[in-house]
Amino acid sequence: MKKWKKLFVTPQHNDESYYDLFEDWDLIDASVTQQYRIRLRYEPEMQWGEFCTLLTGLNGDTPLGHVVDVRSTTDKERIKNMSASDKRIRDEWQARQSKKPIDSKSYMQSMRALEEAMKALAS
């Protein structure tokens, strides 16, 4: 599995992704072990496509599934009632995401939306 990490020169940023292949590797490994009984460190020849299939198929009962569920929730009532550890997980993820650079297309869309909002306020 260590050779897989070498395939990633730079992580790809995806706003819809609630996990990071590098930072969440231990969660991924534990989740694949829990759900499929496969120890990734002992599968150095596993094909990338097979790994992606396993990762995509992880359910919410796994460590990664739980963390993704916590990070992705938008239900204000649920967030309000989260345990302290779940709030910490969510807050840490949001802090990391806020530090990532925004691409120029998203930046321009945000600026246009802000401009329209300012026009609406002025009129």
DSSP annotation string for 17-74: ----TTTTHHHHHHHHHHHH---GGG-TT--HHHHHHHHHT--TTSHHHHHHHHHH--
pLDDT at 30: 97
According to DSSP, residue 7 is labeled T
Q: For 27-41, 52-66, 105-119, which range has the lowest pLDDT when averaged over its residues?
A: 105-119
**What's the chain's average pLDDT?**
86
Domain boundaries, the chain: 17-122
What is the band of 104 on the pLDDT scale with cuts at 50, 70, 90? confident
pLDDT at 16: 61
Percent share of the chain, pLDDT over 90: 63
